[in-house]
Chains A and B, each alone.
Chain A
Amino acid sequence: MAESKLKRTQRENHKRYKEDVKREGKPFFPYAMFHDTIMALVVVLVIIALACVWYFTAKHAKDGVGALGPLTSAKADPGTTSFVPRPDWFFYFLFYLLRVFKWPDSVFLGTVGIPTILLVLLIGLPFYDRRTERRLLRRPVAIVTAILVVLSMGVLTWKGAIAKESVGAENVQFVPAWAKKQGFEDNAKAVAGAKVFASLTCMTCHAYLGAGSSGPGPDLSAIAKGGRGAQGFADYVAQPSKFGNNVMPAFADIGADNLAALGEFLNASKGATATKK
């Protein structure tokens, strides 16, 4: 009953709208189209201006990084790299959600769960907000929700933008301290593995003795307790998907020597407490 009343109001409102527009409205051309054309020109000019600032400041900068970033970074290199993975800016909020949900059980929420729920809520909006009221001050729930959504997206985007991922070159300096704490100073292969670990992208997803990133991967300080053994760790890192891990990238490209060293290093990582013997 209420449903049919709502439908009748909606239809009457729209009929009245159509009549009003026909009687009182202005033709799209030239009036509205004039504004649209000016706006279109502004958009094209802004895009051209961004392209010019990006190109000319980068071209004349000594390090090739202009006001809007470099023209390109170095050529893609799947093997050795200490590159910090970072998505385009409009995915920063998703990128940061991964840090909110910790590996491994709830990471699925951040990668797929929450985005799917948000998308369903977005698409379904006209179906759960069924009132005919359009004025903002009479839509308190809508206005509060909108403010919360904008704020949280803004904060997540900003946090994603400034999230500090450690850079390989900085992490290598920790290696001697790690070797001392973990007690593998005299194991040359493990020390070499620690250097590989520090200079690859490992620490953008993993923490190690307080350094690196706390997510989405687990803290590896005491990973040896898992008891995989040096060879087991090397195999795991080479192709994590073989072990049911579909999140971590494969590192088979870094070569057998690096993998073996890395395995030795992980197998020597018994947690800082192990040094008290």
Chain B
Amino acid sequence: MAPKSARRRQLEAAALYPLDWVEERTGLVGGIKYFLFRHVPRDTNWMQTLGAATLTAFLVQTVTGVFLAMYYKPDPQNAYSSIQHITHEVTLGWLVRGMHKWGASVFIILMFFHMARVFLFGAYKYPRELNWIVGSLLLVLGMLEGFTGYLLPWDQTAYWATAVGINLNATAPFLGPFLANFLQGGAQIGPDTIARFYSLHMLLIPGGLIGLIVLHMYLVVRLGVTSPPWSPTAAGRERPDESKPEGARQGLIRSGDGQDEGH
């Protein structure tokens, strides 16, 4: 038995060696372990999977978007025909385009649902204020993705919706006309518009989204997930029976401007 267990030890050491190597140089393994094995409240429920659901929809958009970009041609002469090519000729092109088109709507809906959950749980309150702001910016960027992506198929729906959208931007005081001119790349929608929208749609806005998503998740891990506020075993609940230092108890009772007591 002894030789076998020695061999087993060797194998384990060999298998773990790359992990140890990476950990020694980056500390990332420890970070991932912390992420996976950190505790969350015992009473978290299905509503709290909406954030993960939104992230999934975003990942679907990035993966399908990468494949669409391999076939799409961002200029007025070829855009429409390249979309036709993707839809009708490329193997499973219809599926990739369909998932991107409908994934966009799913992404937006899930962002709204996730936001509603955070609102209902009061989870935007101290110390999670910044994460609410990051989330709001993610919602705005997500809708801008929708706006810039809508033009790209270069069909009538796309063209006229964007014409109206750009003209609405132009009604803003001072900056409006400049913004409209910048988006169009000229006085009217043309070849430059489609290139600009494409660049914004797949470089600038997604870059911002990815950066903010990383920050969003970092803050979730750092600050923790809230318990449902109605849960009798909510983490952080007040326990009147528990003996606590006199000063702390008094501080709790007096605080909250009369709103938080009496339950």
Contact = CB atoms under 8 A, between A and B. Distances in A.
Given A27-B37, A72-B80, A48 B147 contact: no
Contacts of B137: 123
Given A76-B76, A129-B125, A111 B168 contact: yes
B240 to A, nearest CB: 13
Contacts of A144: none
A78 B102 contact: no
B204 interface: no
A202 B163 CA distance: 13
B226 to A, nearest CB: 7
A36 B56 CA distance: 10
Nearest to A126: B129
Interface stretch (A15-23, A179-187, A223-231, A256-264): A15-23
Contacts of B76: 76
A51 B101 contact: yes
Interface in A232-255: 239, 241, 246-250, 252-253
A98 interface: yes
Contacts, number: 290
A107 interface: yes
A47 B170 contact: no
A69 to B, nearest CB: 9
B57 A249 contact: no
B167 to A, nearest CB: 5
B173 A83 contact: no
Contact of B39 (A25, A85, A123): A25
B229 interface: yes
Nearest to A77: B156
Interface in A98-139: 98, 107-108, 111-112, 119, 122-123, 125-127, 129-136, 138-139
Given A43-B60, A71-B87, A98-B168, A126 B132 contact: yes
A74 B160 contact: no
B260 interface: yes
Contact of B37 (A9, A29, A76, A249): A29
A249 B95 contact: no
A32 B44 contact: yes
A26 interface: yes
B260 A47 contact: no
Given A33-B36, A249-B164, A132 B125 contact: yes
B73 to A, nearest CB: 14
B251 A76 contact: no
A164 interface: no
Interface in B68-124: 76, 80, 83-84, 87, 94-95, 97-99, 101-106, 108, 110, 116, 119-124
A275 B84 CA distance: 51
Given A5-B255, A47-B106, A50-B102, A125 B160 contact: no
B260 A21 contact: no
B230 A48 contact: no
A83 B156 contact: yes
Contact of B42 (A25, A73, A111, A253): A25
B46 A35 contact: yes
Interface in A159-176: none
Interface in B155-173: 155-161, 163-165, 167-173
Interface string A1-24: 010011011101110111011101
A134 B121 contact: yes
B198 interface: no
A76 B121 contact: no
A249 B163 contact: yes
Contacts of B170: 241, 246-247
Interface stretch (A87-95, A188-196, A206-214, A266-274): A87-95
A112 B128 CA distance: 29
A72 B87 contact: yes
Contact of B226 (A24, A39, A122, A134): A134
Question: Which 10 pairs across A and B sit closest by C-beta, in order of nearness?
Answer: A51-B98, A17-B236, A25-B39, A134-B122, A76-B159, A126-B129, A9-B255, A85-B160, A36-B52, A50-B102
Interface of A: 2, 5-6, 8-10, 12-14, 16-18, 20-22, 24-29, 31-33, 35-36, 38-40, 42-44, 46-48, 50-52, 54-55, 68, 71-78, 81, 83-91, 94, 98, 107-108, 111-112, 119, 122-123, 125-127, 129-136, 138-139, 142, 146, 150, 201, 239, 241, 246-250, 252-253
Interface of B: 35-42, 44, 46, 48-50, 52-53, 55-57, 60, 76, 80, 83-84, 87, 94-95, 97-99, 101-106, 108, 110, 116, 119-129, 132-133, 136-137, 140, 143, 146-147, 150, 153-161, 163-165, 167-173, 176-177, 180, 187-189, 224-226, 229-230, 233, 235-238, 248, 251-252, 254-257, 259-260
24 contacts: A6-B255, A13-B236, A16-B237, A17-B235, A21-B235, A31-B40, A35-B48, A39-B49, A40-B52, A46-B106, A50-B98, A55-B94, A72-B83, A74-B155, A90-B105, A90-B108, A90-B146, A108-B173, A111-B172, A119-B140, A123-B133, A126-B133, A132-B125, A132-B259
